[in-house]
Structure 1
């Protein structure tokens, strides 16, 4: 970049590689680091190195875990239902579902979704590991909790076809109107899903 000294230009370039970070945001982050204390900059650098050296993937569910902790805490917890697996796209989705306190089964993290336009097929995801768990027996239900977008729907349909011969029940999380949402602002697909997923009013 013209007019920038090499260390600054390099950091801007590296920040720009992060998802959702454009050149302007990368520049702001770089100058924030530049103004920060040396201790803060070292702490950031140590955290970045630490996440690569001290984080691994669970051999069972493919979620992230501390290096040397395998299986992960969720898979090792004997209080969780081993016959129910919730399939999600990313580790952050596990955190979101765990926050609700409603699901007491186990998880499987795909690390993405099928997206032909981006060149991501099933072989790029952790589908082989999921199928191994399903064919090993003892699984009563697989809940497909992929995102309600085109990629998530394509992934859910693919997995449903893959799993049905091996699992008693393959279900999909309900989709519909968010709490606090207004009907007038909802798109047609959301409204259709809401109507299809209707249930009896509970007192």
Structure 2
């Protein structure tokens, strides 16, 4: 796509590098920005600069945060004995929207996927294991997507955690096989958490 300005060309290329945005959509978005007041566009750009410069990953759970420890981990009203394991930060947002969970979280940063070159050492698994005893964990909830990679990761985590005096549970399969957690509706996801079951029962089934 040949554009009349090298600056427009670069802006479109940068915009189209984002997930789910093709060249045509990127061009439409960039042209829309050009039609805005300069102060609005500068404010828009500054919000992303601030995001990169000032946000952190929580040292405890790897959630996004403005502080060293995120608001969930530092909240005295959260149940620290229950840790919900998710693959992505977006999954925390989805579960929080259900208002059915009062424990804490742990973000793996992905799932085991040999096809994509992602192994256990590429995920935040060791930091999960290191939390179990200091935080007095009584239950670890596996809330990964119902995919082959998610199931593989669930089983790996179960084998790692099983030697600890911690109950390992898994959210119910109200979420369709192959579905990503973030796309489940709030009611379905909330019920899946409430109706979670011991992981070893799912193995035998």
| TM-score, normalised relative to structure 1 | 0.80
- 1:50 paired with 2:18, answer no
- 1:142 paired with 2:152, answer no
Could you tell me whether the CA contact under 8 Å between 1:86 and 1:106 is conserved in 2? yes
Residues 84-93 or 117-126, more deviating: 117-126
Could you tell me whether the CA contact under 8 Å between 1:142 and 1:167 is conserved in 2? no
Change (3 A) 1:21 1:150: farther
Q: In the alignment, which residue of structure 2 is the partner of 1:38? A: 38
- 1:86 paired with 2:84, answer yes
Write out aligned runs for 1:9-158 (5 A).
Answer: 9-66=9-66, 69-136=67-134, 138-158=136-156
- CA-atom RMSD, angstroms? 2.3
Structure 1 residues without counterparts, runs of 5 or longer = 179-193
**Cα separation, 2, equivalents of 1:177 and 1:135:** 31
Q: Which ranges of 4 or more aligned residues in structure 1 deviate by more than 4 Å?
A: none
Residues 13-22 or 115-124, more deviating: 115-124
The secondary structure found in structure 2 opposite 1:83 is strand
| TM-score, normalised relative to structure 2 | 0.80
**1:177 to partner: Cα distance:** 6.0
Could you tell me whether the CA contact under 8 Å between 2:144 and 2:150 is conserved in 1? yes
**1:151 to partner: Cα distance:** 2.3
Q: How far does the alpha carbon of each residue in 1:106-163 deviate from its partner, in whole angstroms, 9 at most, with x for none?
A: 1111122222222222222211211111254611110010111222222212211221
Where relative contact order (Cα < 8 A, 6+ residues apart) is larger, the structure is: 2
Larger Rg: 1
**1:168 to partner: Cα distance:** 2.1
